Amino acid sequence: MTKTLVSAATAAMIAIAAALPSPAQAGSNGGAIAAGVIGGLAAGAIIGSAARAAPPPPAYYAPAPVYAAPPPVYEEAPCRIVRQRYWDGYGYSTRRVEVCD
């Protein structure tokens, strides 16, 4: 439907432009040029919006919510990671070390 409308509008504009030729003038006629530019931009916007219709909505449906039991709670491990400061020959740095009590 939209392709037919676009092609018909384009054919009508070309027919109107070909049927009404104007003679060339060697004078300052800036108003007619500006009107032609604005009219061309408006016609292009109308034809472009008719040609590019909104796409159909996607056929995706979100899955149903799932209710699950919470994850089990584990005992705290006897080991932990702590930061330790040490001298590396150039200056003090820190590193992470695993400490088990």
pLDDT at 86: 93
| pLDDT class of 23 with cuts at 50, 70, 90 | low
Q: What pLDDT does 55 receive?
A: 72
Against a cut of 0.85, is the pTM above it? no
Confidence at residue 95, expressed as pLDDT on a 0 to 100 scale: 94
Whether residue 82 contacts residue 94, with contact meaning beta carbons closer than 8 Å, is answered with no
Q: Residues 6, 51: contact at Cβ < 8 Å?
A: yes
